[in-house]
């Protein structure tokens, strides 16, 4: 051993000491370095919220990071494909998957929340100083919640929609069988009876104060809304029907002691519900009796009805924040004329809008029909998708218990695309009111003839020739009129835009397209 060599035991001791001494962690960065490290943690965590896997790649978790990026790319590609091909048919079919959509949205919300938390953890925030850990932890928590909120809202909207649909459509009806793949069976139109009435749990039957029938062209969405007065007398029923056997010469009952009558069109539903013996003991036949009466009056087959509680309708108007209406003159209402809807253009709450539509004071049924049509048109115009989405929960809650219908639930997926067409199509209206008809002695043939003509005009308007200016009709024109219709009647019977004469801002007298 050379003189300059260290003793062997010293070398061994030094190696042993070095091997047995645990390595110390690097001290937390200080000052600007600490701030930069905290910002880096926040930045990579935030990037992971929109690009999953970024933080894992930065932290060296390469396999996990690339796996997350791959899954994310597939999901984005699928979402883009759906967005590019989505249409009203897809929306209709989605109504059948609302429960699944709600569960899937919750799962995605939880997964995204966990992803942000894990992205933050792999960046080793524990190496930061205490202040940096608190700041980055708060930011990461906020990001986790923020990314989960949209999916949570989607789950809530889907569940609310599912329950709302179940409340309205999950009623036992004879038509509640599964709809065929071709639900229209070659037909080019459907006819839906739109009713407004009021009902109470302690009262049998429904009085339908608003009676309209929407005849919809399935190809174009062009729609004609036929309005029938509530006080139409001597209503007829299809031959062979139970109500026709009871009233072969028309719906006629003895007058009340005060001279008022209960045998008008609005009372058909209530009368049928009160007399199940007419239908062989079957109860709840009011809707079918009214569908028969309206269909026979217009010469059309009524497919389904939709009944809305008139006063519940006010809740819908309140849920969208009110309606902007032009009130032509003061409308007085109330048992003692204590209420007033003042003339002018302004935003009305639900109750005021309904009083405007329904008040009989200093008015008649035909003026009320026009005002009801104005309220309906304003609702169609002003309930835009953005408003509906922003107030979705309030609207769903407002509609609970206020609709009745016999539309089978399986038909919804087919009706949604039709409704989308109607939204952008031409909607006209024909009101069978004096002087066009006499409500006490209606000319049934004339009503059916004018109905056929209005539908034919609506179909013709959808053709390429409809872009040409319409020919004038009436006594001062050279155009032809129906040979059984006087010129004045032809003018009065011309279908008009649903909002014509309403004075609603931006829609008065114009077609709703």
Question: Highest-confidence range of 24-38, 50-64, 87-101, 398-412, by mean pLDDT?
Answer: 50-64
What DSSP line would sit under 175-228, residue for residue?
Answer: T-SPPPSSTTTT-SEEEEEEEEEE--TTS-S-EEEEEEEEEEETTT--EEEEEE
CA distance 227 to 211: 6
Give the Cα separation of 228 and 317 in Å (integer): 24
User: Roughly what angle, to the nearest 10 degrees, separates helices 310-319 and 392-399?
Assistant: 170
Q: Tell me the C-alpha distance between 431 and 429, whole Å.
A: 6
Helices (H), 224-364: 242-246, 268-274, 286-298, 310-319, 350-358
The residue with greater pLDDT, 451 or 160, is 451
Most confident of 26-35, 228-237, 382-391: 228-237
What pLDDT, in 10s, does the model give residues 112-165?
Answer: 999 999 999 999 998 888 888 999 999 999 999 999 999 999 998 888 888 888
* Cα–Cα distances in angstroms (integers) from residue 143 to residues 34, 61, 103, 112, 407, in the given order: 21, 21, 22, 10, 44
Tell me the pLDDT band of 205, cut-offs 50, 70 and 90: low
Residue 487 has pLDDT above 60, yes or no: no
To the question of pTM greater than 0.75 for the whole model, the response is: no
User: How confident is the model over 15-25, as pLDDT tens digits?
Assistant: 344 444 444 44
Which backbone phi and psi does 179 adopt, to 5 degrees?
-75, 145
d(CA 175, CA 127): 67
User: Is residue 153 packed enough to be buried (19+ CB in 10 Å), middle (13-18) or exposed (0-12)?
Assistant: middle
Q: How far is CA 282 from CA 242, 274, 276, 289, in A?
A: 11, 11, 5, 12
| Residue whose C-alpha is closest to residue 490's, from 470, 513, 463 | 470
Joined tokens for residue 341: 């809807």
Q: Are 169 and 161 in contact (CB under 8 A)?
A: no
**Count of beta carbons in the 10 Å neighbourhood of residue 507:** 21
- What's the mean pLDDT when you consider all of the chain? 80
Mean pLDDT for 261-275 is: 91
Q: What is the pLDDT of residue 29?
A: 58
CA torsion sign, 320 to 325 to 330 to 334? Answer: negative
Query: Domains in the chain, please, with CATH?
Result: 33-169 (no CATH), 189-461 (3.40.630.190)
**Spatial distance between the Cα atoms of 269 and 198, rounded to a whole number of angstroms:** 12
User: How far is residue 463 CA from its own chain's centroid?
Assistant: 29
């Amino acid at each position: 051993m050379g003189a300059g060599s260290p003793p062997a035991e010293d070398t061994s001791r030094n190696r042993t000491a070095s091997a047995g001494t645990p390595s110390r962690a690097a001290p937390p960065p200080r000052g600007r370095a600490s701030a930069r490290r905290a910002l880096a943690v926040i930045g990579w965590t935030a990037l992971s919220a929109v690009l999953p896997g970024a933080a894992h790649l930065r932290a060296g978790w390469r396999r996990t990071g690339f796996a997350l990026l791959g899954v994310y790319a597939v999901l984005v590609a699928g979402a883009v494909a759906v967005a590019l091909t989505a249409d009203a048919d897809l929306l209709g079919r989605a109504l059948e998957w609302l429960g699944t959509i709600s569960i899937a949205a919750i799962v995605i919300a939880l997964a995204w929340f966990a992803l942000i938390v894990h992205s933050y953890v792999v960046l080793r925030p524990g190496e930061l100083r205490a202040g940096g850990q608190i700041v980055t932890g708060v930011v990461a928590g906020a990001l986790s919640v923020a990314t989960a909120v949209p999916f949570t809202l989607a789950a809530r909207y889907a569940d609310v929609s599912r329950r709302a649909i179940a409340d309205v459509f999950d009623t036992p009806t004879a038509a509640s069988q599964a709809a065929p793949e071709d639900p229209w069976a070659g037909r080019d139109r459907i006819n839906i009876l739109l009713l407004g009435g009021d009902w109470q749990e302690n009262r049998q039957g429904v009085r339908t104060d608003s009676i309209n029938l929407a005849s919809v062209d399935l190809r174009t969405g062009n729609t004609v809304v036929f309005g029938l007065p509530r006080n139409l007398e001597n209503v007829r029923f299809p031959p062979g029907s139970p109500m026709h056997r009871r009233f072969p010469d028309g719906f006629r009952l003895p007058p009340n002691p005060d001279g008022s009558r209960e045998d008008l069109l609005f009372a058909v539903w209530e009368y049928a519900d009160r007399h199940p013996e007419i239908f062989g003991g079957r109860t709840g036949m009011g809707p079918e009796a009214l569908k028969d009466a309206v269909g026979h009056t217009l010469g059309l087959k009524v497919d389904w009805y939709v009944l809305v509680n008139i006063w519940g309708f006010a809740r819908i108007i309140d849920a969208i924040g009110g309606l902007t209406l032009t009130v032509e003159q003061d409308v007085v209402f109330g048992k003692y004329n204590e209420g007033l809807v003042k003339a002018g253009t302004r935003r009305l709450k639900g109750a005021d809008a309904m009083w405007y539509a329904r008040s009989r004071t200093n008015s008649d049924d035909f003026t009320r029909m026009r005002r009801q049509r104005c309220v309906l048109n304003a609702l169609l115009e002003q309930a835009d998708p953005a408003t509906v989405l922003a107030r979705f929960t309030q609207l769903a809650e407002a509609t609970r218990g206020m609709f009745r219908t016999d539309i089978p639930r399986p038909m919804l997926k087919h009706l949604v695309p039709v409704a989308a067409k109607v939204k952008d199509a031409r909607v006209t209206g024909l009101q069978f009111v004096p002087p066009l008809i006499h409500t006490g002695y209606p000319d049934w043939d004339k009503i059916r003839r004018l109905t056929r003509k209005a539908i034919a005009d609506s179909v013709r308007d959808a053709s390429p020739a409809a872009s040409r200016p319409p020919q004038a009709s009436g006594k001062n024109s050279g155009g032809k009129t129906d040979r059984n219709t006087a010129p004045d009647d032809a003018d009065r019977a011309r279908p008009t835009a649903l909002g014509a004469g309403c004075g609603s801002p931006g829609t008065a007298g114009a077609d709703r397209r």
